[in-house]
Chain A
């Protein structure tokens, strides 16, 4: 069974819609992250959380918000999706420097 899971795995939505991407982990790690990956641009950090009460903006947080509902759950929201948010989104946990990624959510905003 996967230690870091993401739902949905694929989503197509329209401009202006609100969408939530969910991430759950069974690894017991305190630190969780959300990244997006665009072709040719590599992974960019959106938000990260070092524990349930700690939320930090990454390098590209505009247009996104997050919620850390529990140690095991970290959700990413797009309040009003726009086409340039079309990307592959990864959730990750970390422990002693190593990051463990979920399988990714492929989001398309039309």
Chain B
């Protein structure tokens, strides 16, 4: 069974802190990678795609290490509103067929 592993947390950080999450995946043939955000009892929403060259969107930076089969998400200057569960998601093949979701990492940002 293809696996996507994440530390469940929770990560408790103060406002303004920098926090990083890692995710490992088992299938070396995986093609595309994403981070989703899920608020409590709500639907997941795409936070960002993860490109081979790494990508940044405001306070969020995602990186991919294919050799070690892990993906990272860095959040700088944490806000209270960043409190959520962050899901690492991997597409196993080409054509965006089906996705494998990690169980998520919970982030709690406190004042």
In angstroms, Cα B34 to Cα A97, docked, is 9
By size class, the interface of chain A is 20 to 34
Chain A positions 80 through 108: 1 when the CB is less than 8 Å from some CB of chain B, otherwise 0 = 00000000101000101111011110000
- Residues of B within 8 Å of A, CB-based: how many? 21
Encode contact with B along A21-40: 1 for CB under 8 Å, 0 otherwise: 00000000001010000001
Is chain A's binding surface mostly helix, strand, loop or mixed?
strand
Known: A99-B46, A104-B42. 11 other contacts (CB 8 A): A43-B87, A43-B101, A94-B96, A97-B91, A97-B96, A98-B49, A99-B36, A99-B44, A99-B99, A101-B44, A104-B43
A-B contact count (CB 8 A): 44
Q: How far is the CA of A99 from the CA of B1 in the complex (A)?
A: 22
Interface residues of B (CB under 8 A from A): 1, 8, 32, 34, 36, 41-46, 49, 87, 91, 96, 98-99, 101-104
Cα of A56 to Cα of B27 in the assembled complex, Å: 21
Enumerate chain A interface residues (CB-CB to B < 8 A): 31, 33, 40-43, 45, 48, 58-59, 88, 90, 94, 96-99, 101-104
Contact among B43, B87, B101, B104 with A103 in the assembled complex (CB-CB below 8 Å): B43
